[in-house]
Amino acid sequence: MPGYEWQTNIFRLATCWGHPCVVAIADGSSPVLWDEVVRHGGFDVLTRPLSKPDILSTLDFAYIHWKSGRTNLQNTH
C-alpha cells in the first residue's frame, strides 16, 4: 500500500476481515526484524533468496494457525 510505512501496512493487513496471517519478505534475516514484524501483527518473515520448501512450510504453518483461530472464534459464538 503506497504512502505508508511497511509497519503500518502489516498492521492494516493483519487487522483486515478474517485476520489473515501476514508473511513479510525481506532481503536478510534478523531477529530484530522478525520481532518488529510480529509486534505489528505479522506472522512470519521469509528471506531472500526464497526457496520452495521454506515458502511452502511457512504458508502451511500460517494456514494451520489461521484456521485454528477461525475454529476457536466459531466455537465461542
Model confidence at 9: pLDDT above 90: yes
Give the pLDDT confidence score for residue 13 in this predicted structure.
94
Give the pLDDT confidence score for residue 71 in this predicted structure.
57
The per-residue pLDDT of the chain, averaged, comes to 90
Which residues form the domain of 31? 6-75
pTM above 0.85, yes or no: no
Per the domain annotation, does 52 fall within a domain?
yes
Distance CA 70, CA 6 (A): 26
Per the domain annotation, does 71 fall within a domain?
yes
End-to-end CA distance of the chain: 33
Rg for the chain (alpha carbons), in Å? 13
Per the domain annotation, does 64 fall within a domain?
yes
- Tens of pLDDT along 20-40? 999 999 998 889 999 999 999
- Tens of pLDDT along 63-77? 999 999 865 555 554
Determine how many CB atoms are found less than 10 A away from the CB of residue 21. Answer: 21
Give the pLDDT confidence score for residue 72 in this predicted structure.
55
Per the domain annotation, does 1 fall within a domain?
no
Distance CA 44, CA 62 (A): 8
Per the domain annotation, does 40 fall within a domain?
yes
Q: How many structural domains does the chain have?
A: 1
